[in-house]
Structure 1
Amino acid sequence: MAITRTTGKHRRPGRAPRTARSGANLAGIATLAASGVVAGFAAPALAASDDGRGAEDTGLRQAVAMGDELADQVAAQAETQQSFAAEAAAKAQAEADARKEAARLAAEAKRKAEAAAKKAKQEREAKERAAREAERKRLNMFVLPVSGSYLSTSYQASSGLWSSGSHTGVDFHAASGTSVHSVGSGTVVEAGWGGAYGNNIVIKMNDGTYTQYAHLSSLSVSVGQAVTPGQQIGLSGATGNVTGPHLHFEARTSPDYGSDIDPVAYLRSHGVNI
């Protein structure tokens, strides 16, 4: 059977129509354009497609080359941005670490300051307690009425010089004008002329007993005045019934004459070495 062909021009099989090739080329270029490539090269590529496959390949190679260059630029920018981001993160971390260290140092300084303040307070309180204790002991201590003196007449010595027939106190050797001290803490209940005692002072001690200081040349305290151990209350002399200057000292259970007790035993019971 004879094969007949229709008349007219025919194209070689396998070659795509120009419109199809142009469409494919445009699709590839559009893809590159979406990545940021300027599509100005598309026109020459499309124009060349009319003249043959070689021109079309040249356009694609240009597009690929430009795409590679763009990719390199994008990668370089991305690397630079990552570097900046890393530097910013490192700086932020360093600042955070610095703030944390500053907070730690501030807390440590505060702790040390509080510890130092607490220690200073404890030391101050300890000193205050020691001072109070020392003052308490001082106020409760007893001393000799005349510093560095000695007894010239003992307690209950017999003599016609005394109305009772015996000595109701003790005499301390003291030249006229010698300082006379309160033997302990108390309150003055008598200060003035005492007859045979001359100028005398009677003190009610804090323990409820009484002490008397007689034959004084002058007085330094008055009734109602509080006195402390060792405080000067007058000066020794020879007023009243005496044969010479000295201090007559008595210890009593009351402020009245006749309630006398042994003054040496009294002073020794309060820690005075006599």
Structure 2
Amino acid sequence: MAFTRATGKHRRPSRTARTTRNLAGIATLAASGVVATVASPALAAAEEPAPHDTGLHQAVAIGDALADRVEAQADAQQAAAETAAAQARAEAEAKRLAEAAKKKAEAEREAKERAARDAERKRLLATFVAPVDGSYVSTPYKASSGLWSSGSHTGIDFHAAYGTPVHAVGAGTVVEAGWGGAYGNNVVIKMNDGTYTQYGHLSSIGVTVGQTVMPGDQIALSGNTGNTTGPHLHFEARTGPDYGSDIDPIAYLRAHGVTV
């Protein structure tokens, strides 16, 4: 005697069981020749999801849709992050290039300014001026007189009233500033070309030993200190710092572009 399991009042057959029974019914109807009239309803009934299966399918469908939305959102966020990162890199590169261009421009500007300063300095170093503005030579070089111990004038005298500004004729360094015996108050400058210039009979001195001077710098005021018969400026050009190394000051100044 065979036993079959009752489905029970509250128990529905499984999808597998239902599907199997539907297929068996279809086969029986086909054998009896009535499949054409009843097969379609039976198949339609078999394809309709049971209430239990419909809920599961809906949950799966909703889960899949939610996963798709989450994935799409993640893709969008990643794309946005990649775009932002690329933009940040581009901005950083643009900033780096701008800073490099700015530094280059500053370096070029500084180089031009330095070159201009160097050129101006070279020009000034090569420039010579008269020791007294708007003056003239009142006593020439090598003039003979008993007023000088050597018997002749070792420099030239420029006409200058007492207290007239006296200028360095060129660029150099002060090697003597003070009393010079017969020269009275005097200043001696070693010029940048290795020669020396002397300024004598000064009423006051405005520079000190070791000081660097440029062409036209005021170094003293004219006077009549030392062996002199009146205020004027005694100017000498020398090959060395000491007395007796004098050279023609007129030729010296003219060789450096000064009209005397």
Same fold (TM over 0.5): yes
Question: Match of 2:163, SS?
Answer: coil
Q: Which residue of 1 aligns with 2:212?
A: 227
- 2:165–2:222 Cα contact (<8 Å) kept: yes
Whether 1:103 and 2:86 are equivalent positions in the alignment is no
**1:165, 1:232 → 2: CA distance?**
31
Render the CA deviation track for 1:138-189: whole Å, top value 9, x for unaligned: 3454332123433333333455654555433222222111121222303324
- 1:180–1:234 Cα contact (<8 Å) kept: yes
**Scaled by the length of structure 1, what TM-score is found?**
0.67
Aligned residues: 233
Larger radius of gyration: 1
Question: Match of 1:218, SS?
Answer: strand
**1:204, 1:92 → 2: CA distance?**
78
- 2:137–2:159 Cα contact (<8 Å) kept: yes
Q: Which residue of 2 aligns with 1:131?
A: 117
After TM superposition, list the pairs within 5 Å mapping 1:1-274 onto structure 2: 29-30=15-16, 61=45, 64-66=48-50, 67=53, 71=57, 74-75=60-61, 77-158=63-144, 161-184=147-170, 185-189=172-176, 191-195=178-182, 197-222=183-208, 224-229=209-214, 230-274=216-260
- 1:170–1:250 Cα contact (<8 Å) kept: yes
Quote the RMSD (CA, aligned, Å): 3.9
Q: Which runs of 4+ in 1 moved over 6 A?
A: none
Residue segments in structure 1 that go unaligned for 5+ positions in a row: 1-16, 34-44
Residue segments in structure 2 that go unaligned for 5+ positions in a row: 30-37
**1:156, 1:183 → 2: CA distance?**
21
Render the CA deviation track for 1:225-266: whole Å, top value 9, x for unaligned: 233123333210122333332111011223343432111221
Distance 1:80 1:238, change over 3 A: same
What fraction of aligned residue pairs are identical, expressed as a percent?
A: 47
Structure 1 residue 90, shift from structure 2 partner: 1.8
Question: Match of 2:48, SS?
Answer: helix
**1:258, 1:32 → 2: CA distance?**
140
Distance 1:69 1:269, change over 3 A: same
**Scaled by the length of structure 2, what TM-score is found?**
0.70
Moved more, 171-180 or 204-213: 204-213
Distance 1:169 1:151, change over 3 A: same
**1:247, 1:138 → 2: CA distance?**
24
